[in-house]
Amino acid sequence: MRKINLHLGDFTEKSNVKLVPRYYGEALCRLAERNEKIVALCADLAPPTETDLFRDRYPDRFFMMGIAEANMVGVASGMARMGDVPFVHSFCVFLTRRAYDQVAMQVAYPKSNVKLIGFLPGLTTLLGVSHQAIDDIALMRALPNMCVIEPCGPEQIDSAVNAAMDYDGPVYLRLNRAETELSSDTKIKKLDIGKVEITRKGDDLVIFACGIMLRKAESAAQILSESGIETTVVNVHTIKPIDDQKICELVSHCGATITAENHSIIGGLGDAVSKALNEKNISIAVNRVGIKDSFAEGGSTPYLLNKYGLETQDIVNKALKVLKQNIKVSYT
């Protein structure tokens, strides 16, 4: 019988939350120490959004808004209009689908300085379709004035939080919580809004990835390299505004193009890259690895990523198909 990898800390306070590292919660507290304007709002999800740390350290700046996301977003806009910088927390799916009108009218339209912090991106939750944000990038990208950021992992969360704070206007931050501590030699990554990060260079193929898919793209590039295919891997942490200039340069250089995202292939990173290329008259197929226009289901993340085609081997297979290479590769 398959062992399901339960993460009780996602929805219970009294579980092993202390065992789960809280890179976001710590980053927000560090920032709040320097800036009194920062306030935090949460819709009954303090531990899984790591805002219990903020609540305990800055109780007069923490606002528990109950299970009422629409009201929470409006309240945050009111606070921003009074000069505060509200960080608003929930799961990605509830900040986007449930409060979309409020985000559009009270955050995006007036360019309110509100930071929307969503957790459980894509298939990173076992809680099923109700909790799996497979369209949040699409929804947030479509809103004028909205900046959309997805750091590649815990090593980029601190920079993402600081970048969101420094950005004067609405930001949607799509975060995946770390399950284990980073090793002590992990290099902390910078994040410059609107500038991609190239993590590997090669001439045969370029893979644009965001969030958890970056590591999978890097693994795929390593496997391909062993077969003589050299890949450029790009961390597109800012999906909007997207770095169209660099994306066009890299595609012009490499030719074959793949995008990899923990999101529907409709409206997300793949579409954003396509749009960038299209507007510069670069005519090339953008081959998307992501969730193919379908809802998923409840299950462990490894199971879901495998079933819905978001694994390293899916990227490798896509690359071989794009390059018309009939090579057998081994996965170790």
Partner 1 sequence: MILFRHMDSEKIYLLGKKALAIRKHVVQMVARHGRGYVQQGLGAADLFTVLFFDELRLKIEDPDWPYRDRLILSTAHNSAVFYAVLAEKGLIPLDSLESYCVDGSDLEINVSERLGTMVEATCGSLGQGMSVAIGMGISARRKKISSRFYVILGDGELQEGQTWEAIMSAATWKLSNLCLVVDCNGMQVDGDVEKVMMMEPLGEKFEAFGWNVLTAEGNDINHLLSSFKEAKNCENQPSVILAKTLVGKGVPFLEGQLSHNLIFPADAAKRALEALE
Residue 39's H or E segment, with its range, is strand 38-42
Nearer Cβ to partner 1, position 78 or 128? 78
- Contacts by 30-33 with C-beta closer than 8 Å and gap 24+? 30/158, 31/161, 31/162, 31/165, 32/57, 32/58, 32/61
Gap between the Cα atoms of 298 and 300, Å rounded? 7
Question: In this structure, what DSSP letter does residue 153 have?
Answer: S
Nearer Cβ to partner 1, position 84 or 297? 84
Smallest distance, Å, CB 81 to partner 1? Answer: 6
Nearer Cβ to partner 1, position 102 or 156? 102
Nearer Cβ to partner 1, position 60 or 168? 60
Smallest distance, Å, CB 270 to partner 1? Answer: 30
Smallest distance, Å, CB 51 to partner 1? Answer: 16
Torsion of CA 200, 205, 209, 212, to 10 degrees: -70
* Structure token digits, residue 270: 């793949």
Gap between the Cα atoms of 199 and 204, Å rounded? 15
Smallest distance, Å, CB 29 to partner 1? Answer: 18
Smallest distance, Å, CB 34 to partner 1? Answer: 18
Nearer Cβ to partner 1, position 33 or 203? 33
Question: In this structure, what DSSP letter does residue 51 have?
Answer: T
Smallest distance, Å, CB 35 to partner 1? Answer: 14
Question: In this structure, what DSSP letter does residue 63 have?
Answer: E
Nearer Cβ to partner 1, position 1 or 82? 82
**Which residues are at the interface with partner 1 (CB under 8 A)?**
39, 60-61, 63, 65-66, 68, 70-84, 86, 101-102, 105-106, 109-110
Gap between the Cα atoms of 102 and 79, Å rounded? 14
